[in-house]
Amino acid sequence: MTEVQTSPAAAPAAAGPSPRTGTQRAARVKEAATGWLFALPFTVLLVAFLLLPMAYAFKISLYRSTLIEGEVFAWFDNYKQAIDDPLVREGVVRVLIFGLLQTPVMIGIALIAALLIDAATSRFSRFFRLAAFVPYAVPVVIGTLMWGFLYSDSIGPFAWTGIDFTSSDTVLASLGNIVTWQWAGYNMIVLYAALQGLPRDVYESARIDGASEVQIALRIKTPMISSALVLATLFTIMGTLQFFTEPLILQPLNPGAITQHYTPNVYAYNQAFSFQQYNYSAAISFLLGAVVFIGSYIFLFATRKRSALR
Amino acid sequence: MNLRKGSAAAHVVMGLLAIYFLLPFWWLLVAATKDNTGLFQSASLWFSDFHLIDNLRILFEQDGGVYLTWLRNSAFYAVVSGAGATAISALAGYAFAKLRFPGRNALFALLLGLIMVPATALVLPTYLLMSQANLVDTIWAVILPSLLNPFGVYLLRVYVHDSIPDEMLEAARIDGAGEFRVFTSVALPAMKPALVTVLLFSMVASWNNFFLPLVMLSDDQLYPLTVGLRAWYMSAIMGNGGAATFSVIVTGALVAIVPLIVAFLMLQRYWRGGLTIGSVK
Tens of pLDDT, residue by residue over A253-278, are 899 999 999 999 999 999 999 998 99
Report the pLDDT value the prediction gives residue B275, as an integer from 0 to 100: 62
**In which band, very low, low, confident or very high, does the pLDDT at A306 lie, cut at 50, 70 and 90?**
low
Domain membership of residue B260 (yes or no) is yes
- All residues of chain B having their beta carbon less than 8 Å from the beta carbon of residue A41 are 88, 91-92
Q: Is the pLDDT of residue B261 over 50?
A: yes
**For testing contact with chain B, the best of A23, A25, A38 (most B CBs within 10 A):** A38
How far is Cα B31 from Cα B26, in angstroms, rounded to an integer?
8
**B280 has pLDDT over 60:** no
**DSSP structure string for B24-61:** HHHHHHHHTTS-HHHHHHS-TTS--S--HHHHHHHHHH
Q: Which residues pair with A63 in a beta bridge?
A: A73
Looking at the complex, does the CB of residue A87 fall below 8 Å from at least one CB of chain B? Answer: no
C-alpha distances in Å from residue B159, one per residue of B40, B89, B170: 52, 12, 18
pTM of the complete model: 0.87
Give the mean pLDDT of B88-107. Answer: 95
Query: Best residue in B21, B254, B281 to probe A by mutation, most A CBs within 10 Å?
Result: B21
pLDDT of residue B160 exceeding 60, the answer is yes
Residue A5: what pLDDT?
Answer: 38
**Beta pairing partners, A65:** A71
Query: CB atoms < 10 A from the CB of A24, how many?
Result: 12
Host domain of residue B65: 28-39+48-276
Q: Give the burial string for B75-96 (b: 16+ CB within 10 Å, else e).
A: bebbebbbebbbbbbbbbbbbb
In a domain, B68, yes or no: yes
Min Cα separation B159/chain A (Å): 11
Q: Quick check: is B6 in a domain?
A: no
With b meaning 16 or more CB within 10 Å and e meaning fewer, what string describes A72-111?
eebeebbbebbeebebbeebbebbeebbeebbeebbebbb
d(CA A156, CA B60): 25
pLDDT at position A52 over 90:
yes
Residue A63, H or E segment:
strand A63-66
Question: Among the listed ranges A5-9, A67-71, A158-162, which one has the minimum average pLDDT value?
Answer: A5-9
Q: Is residue B225 part of a domain?
A: yes
Check residue B255 and give its pLDDT: 95
Q: What is the pLDDT of residue A28?
A: 84
Higher pLDDT, A221 or B44: A221
Cβ–Cβ below 8 Å for A213 and B6:
yes
Give kind and range of the element (H or E) at residue B8: helix B2-31
- For residues A128 and B53, give the distance between their C-alpha atoms in angstroms, rounded to a whole number: 31
Question: Does pLDDT of A121 surpass 80?
Answer: no
How far is it, in rounded angstroms, from Cα B210 to Cα B230?
10
Identity of the residue numbered A138:
V
Given a cut of 50, whether residue B50 has pLDDT beyond it is yes
A182 touches A138 (CB < 8 A): yes
Contact at 8 Å (CB) between A225 and A198? yes
Q: Is residue B156 situated within a structural domain?
A: yes
Range with the poorest average pLDDT among A21-25, A141-145, B119-123: A21-25
pLDDT at B2: 54
Would you say residue B198 has pLDDT above 50? yes
Question: What CATH number did the domain enclosing B85 receive?
Answer: 1.10.3720.10
Determine, yes or no, domain membership for B1: no
Q: What is the pLDDT of residue A230?
A: 86
Residue B72 identity (one-letter amino acid): R
Tell me if chain B has a CB within 8 Å of the CB of A159. yes
What's the structural domain count of chain B?
1
Q: Give pLDDT, residue B281.
A: 37
**pLDDT (tens digit per residue) in A284-304:** 999 988 888 888 888 777 776
pLDDT tens for each residue of A84-113:
999 999 999 999 999 999 999 999 999 999
Mean pLDDT, residues B216-230 taken together: 96
Bridge partners of A66? A70
Q: Could you tell me which CATH class the domain A77-308 is placed in?
A: mainly alpha
Of A1, A49, A194, the CB nearest to B145: A49
Given an 8 Å threshold on Cβ–Cβ distance, is A149 in contact with B40? no
Q: Residue B250: inside a domain, yes or no? A: yes
Residue B187 covered by a domain:
yes
Interface contact A150, partner B, CB < 8 A: yes
Contact by Cβ (8 Å): B90, B96: no
Alpha-carbon gap, residue A138 to B81, rounded angstroms: 18
- Predicted confidence (pLDDT) at residue B237 exceeds the cutoff of 90: no
